Chain A
Amino acid sequence: MSTRIPLVPENIKPLPSLKGNEGMLSWVSSVDHKQIGLMYLMSTLVFFIIGGLEALVIRIQLAQPEFDFISPEVYNQMFTMHGTTMIFFVVMPFLIGVGVYLVPLMIGARDMAFPRLNALSFWLVIFGGILLYYSFLTQSGPSEVGWFAYAPLSEKPFSLNKGPTYWALGLLAVGISSVSSGLNNIVTILTMRVKGMTMRRLPLFVWMILVTSFILIFVIPIIASAFAMMLLDRLLDATFFTPAHGGSAILWQHFFWGFGHPEVYILILPAFGIISEVIPVFSRKPIFGYSFVAGSTVAIGLLSVGVWAHHMFAVGLGNVANAYFSLASMLIAIPTGVKVLNWVATMWGGKIYFATPMLFATAFIIEFVMGGLTGVAIASAPINWVTTDTYFIVAHFHYVLFGGSLFAIFAGVYYWFPKFTGRMMSETLGKWHFWLTVVGFNMTFFIQHFLGVMGMPRRTYTYHDLPYWGSMNLLSTIGAFVLAISVIIFAWNIIWSLKHGKKAPDNPWNAWTLEWYTTSPPAVHNFNLVPPVRGRRPLWDLAHPDQLDEPNSKVV
């Protein structure tokens, strides 16, 4: 006997549906988690293209030594906006958005716990993005003090332009959005799971979203307060971060990285969640060591809030602090390594079908391990003294954020696109996209490890013609253009597949989590009936009643 779940009373008039024809209004006024999720995804694609163009401008300027493509001011604006856009308006809202779409479906719920708050979260991101980009229209242009906005450079009298003010206001809006998303996710996951979906049966993607949400509600308030203090400094002549008037420049760094390092895990944990869904399905095996993958996530979440000052080894905090933050940061390698090995063990002995999602997930493992290993190296304070603020760091975090988060995002898009839209994406275009991304990505960023340890500082609009610097940078720039082509193919694949893609069945990948039980795309109310949940893979249990995942447990 299956359970019907009228968690939310049905409206008399149906909510706007994906298949309905109510026009734009049905989207703008929507409180449906699926529509909001899709709006998140569409807006991140737009921001991804904008942030990518900014990256291309940076790479053109650096293509040769002493090049004169843009002025130093514009260069500084470009790297500030590129970093801010990619972190706050691409990776973060994508992962939150895909979570908003999938979490209720994966736990068999009708919607998020607070649908209106969900809509507010989305529109605050858009509002923040408009505030940030509006600064291009001001007389002095956008902020040119970096995504880290170190005081006192970001303060009067060193930045008298309006850019950093718009920047802080825009990110404050995003911060409010992130806290409300975090709360919404936590309440949804803790209270709205369908009967039988115990915490130990939660899909790993939902586990990762849960841990991420706890990090969000703990660390975003730190940076939101810091933004407020920075705005007080800039607008009302407070002096929190201005040493000339008794403030502290280092305090800003503690606030910023107190948020900024956990932010890294906000950007990677949901990506781990995507990988932990994709790899088992395409290997045709359950995840290896479920409780270790989930438990290591909790460990990472806890450690993440105690490592921030590894971004500050050059500040001169003293060797006791340096030793502590080195050790704490290195410890994160342990739960992360456990995850990687569990993914590899999941693939081991499987029957792997290399569709595009699995290609990206497999490449993710290698690229992410690269970024993780350099991460352990730079957690060691003396190596950090050599590498910090150089291109080595640029290479490191692009391996983590691009090779990690973005590869996982691509895997996720190809994996769930059929569910989102009812159509499959083109596998041919998908494979072109994949190989060009792998080639372009490694070409752009691998060489930067060498530039870094050879002494090229970050955030410099020009460089002297030292041995090999020009040719290495040129190679990196060519790689960036290969990446640009791959992104065009990706965008074209989405647009083309929306119209002409093969019609998707309900469960095209033969997957096991609940979202694949409903129609593609899901009906407004998500499920007519939720199947009984007797284990971690409800759809496996349905298909193999003779071979249940948890044969000894009582049937719920």
Chain B
Amino acid sequence: MEKLGGIFNPSSPEMVVMAGLTYYIIAISIGILAIIVVAVTYIVIRYRKGSKDSSEPYQNFGDLRLEIVWTIIPIAIVAVLFQLTCSTMRAVDPPIGDHEPDVVVTGHQWWWEFYYPKSGVLTANELHMPVGERLLLRIESIDVIHDFWVPELGRKIDAIPGHTNYIWIGAGEPGIFLGACAEFCGTQHANMRIRVIAETQEEFNEWQEQELVIPSTPRSGIAAKGAELFQTKACMNCHTIVGTPAAARIGPNLTHLNNRQTIGAGVLTNSPENLTKWLVNPQKYKQGALMPNMKLTDSEVNAIVAYLEALK
């Protein structure tokens, strides 16, 4: 049997607590449902009217004691539930205090920007984090309301323009955890995915160093042509490549696109072939995305792909 996701695979301390509460309430609910189903089934079998029977049954108008009993029992259940709710909420969502955020998450239509203020790393759609660390994320939005959600690691939190939110998130084990935008945010809401890459502290440090390298611009061959096209074909109006004049933050930072696993916030796996397909017509793979079909010729596409692949 393949592994189920979500609450069936809680992979952070926060998620373990929340999944535990969910299981607990589901168990109570199944108990209550079972009582009702058994009672109704019994009634349906026992109190069905006989075909010849035309007499009326005993006319019972109610019973005050029963009413009191079945008002008090739910009150008790609600009291327990409320207590558990509050303790879980405190565990999952403790006060921030004077912590500085480890990552600033900004929702864009339809991709995520991740900025690590302590190191200066700026990346997109893939959130690297060291295993066992509890990170504080500051959640913002540049346009409409989005929602940051990685089902196996924790809660949902809205990314709202004009309103800053914080969540704590950590991964208890290494691995890749899939997430997505959970608040409907327009045409490509479905393709606004998150990958959390939880890795050892050494791997994380190594990744962070790679991300901070300022790549040299290729000086010869097709990649050099790509570098020139990048600056002249309007790519630079939206994207950043560190070490070049391209510094816009409308679209994802492409400096270390090589390091990322997917293109288009999870639409395609990242490979030169897929990058080529994407550049020929992004609208084919992510219809409605804000990146238009740039009407590049095949040789222009190949040159830009070669350039982006050469950035190391």
- List the one stretch of B115-123, B139-147, B237-245, B300-308 in contact with chain A: B139-147
Is B178's CB under 8 angstroms from A323's CB? Answer: no
Interface 1/0 per residue, B284-304 and A, CB below 8 Å: 000110000000000000000
| Contact residues in A for B161 (Cβ distance below 8 Å) | 152, 243-244, 249
Interface 1/0 per residue, B251-277 and A, CB below 8 Å: 000000000000000100000000000
- List the one stretch of A25-33, A300-308, A361-369, A524-532 in contact with chain B: A361-369
Closest chain A residue to B50, Cβ basis:
A351
Is A362's CB under 8 angstroms from B47's CB? Answer: no
- List the one stretch of B80-88, B128-136, B214-222 in contact with chain A: B80-88
Closest chain A residue to B193, Cβ basis:
A464
C-alpha gap A284/B154 in the complex (Å): 52
Q: How many A-B residue pairs have CB under 8 A?
A: 279
A356-414 at interface with B (beta carbon < 8 Å): 362, 365-366, 369-370, 373-374, 376-377, 380-383, 385-390
C-alpha gap A341/B39 in the complex (Å): 10
Minimum C-beta distance from B110 to chain A (A)? 10
Provided the pairs A153-B184, A290-B62 are in contact, do residues A457 and B288 lie with their beta carbons within 8 angstroms?
A: no
Is B78's CB under 8 angstroms from A330's CB? Answer: yes
C-alpha gap A370/B39 in the complex (Å): 15
Provided the pairs A290-B61, A454-B8 are in contact, do residues A319 and B29 lie with their beta carbons within 8 angstroms?
A: no
Interface 1/0 per residue, A344-358 and B, CB below 8 Å: 110111111110000
B4-38 at interface with A (beta carbon < 8 Å): 4-8, 17-19, 21-22, 25-26, 29, 32-33, 36-37
Q: Is B49 an interface residue (CB 8 A)?
A: yes
Closest chain B residue to A380, Cβ basis:
B85
Minimum C-beta distance from B50 to chain A (A)? 8
The residue in A314, A466, A549 that gathers the most chain B C-beta atoms within 10 A of its C-beta is: A314
C-alpha gap A457/B6 in the complex (Å): 11
Q: Is B67 an interface residue (CB 8 A)?
A: yes
Is B49's CB under 8 angstroms from A353's CB? Answer: yes
Is B62's CB under 8 angstroms from A288's CB? Answer: yes
The residue in A244, A342, A455 that gathers the most chain B C-beta atoms within 10 A of its C-beta is: A455
- List the one stretch of A69-77, A264-272, A489-497 in contact with chain B: A69-77
- What is the size, in residues, of chain A's interface with B at 8 Å between Cβ atoms? 89
Query: Which of B21, B36, B158 is A366 in contact with, Cβ under 8 Å?
Result: B36
Interface 1/0 per residue, A510-554 and B, CB below 8 Å: 000000000000000000000000000000000010010100000
C-alpha gap A297/B211 in the complex (Å): 60
Is B6's CB under 8 angstroms from A455's CB? Answer: yes
C-alpha gap A362/B37 in the complex (Å): 10
Query: Which of B8, B33, B154 is A370 in contact with, Cβ under 8 Å?
Result: B33
Provided the pairs A455-B151, A457-B182 are in contact, do residues A386 and B62 lie with their beta carbons within 8 angstroms?
A: no
Query: Which of A73, A284, A352 is B288 in contact with, Cβ under 8 Å?
Result: A73
Q: Is B156 an interface residue (CB 8 A)?
A: yes
Provided the pairs A288-B60, A454-B8 are in contact, do residues A467 and B3 lie with their beta carbons within 8 angstroms?
A: yes
| Contact residues in A for B74 (Cβ distance below 8 Å) | 333-334, 337-338
- List the one stretch of B89-97, B98-106, B200-208, B223-231 in contact with chain A: B89-97
Interface 1/0 per residue, B186-206 and A, CB below 8 Å: 111111000000000000000
Is A330's CB under 8 angstroms from B48's CB? Answer: no
| Contact residues in A for B55 (Cβ distance below 8 Å) | 351
A408-435 at interface with B (beta carbon < 8 Å): none
Closest chain A residue to B167, Cβ basis:
A316
Closest chain A residue to B87, Cβ basis:
A382
Interface 1/0 per residue, A144-155 and B, CB below 8 Å: 111000101100
C-alpha gap A366/B70 in the complex (Å): 18
Is B39's CB under 8 angstroms from A322's CB? Answer: no
Minimum C-beta distance from A508 to chain B (A)? 15
Q: Is B171 an interface residue (CB 8 A)?
A: no
Is A351's CB under 8 angstroms from B47's CB? Answer: yes
| Contact residues in A for B37 (Cβ distance below 8 Å) | 366
| Contact residues in B for A145 (Cβ distance below 8 Å) | 184, 186
State the 5 A-B residue pairs at the shortest beta-carbon distance, nearest first.
Answer: A243-B162, A385-B155, A455-B151, A460-B190, A467-B2
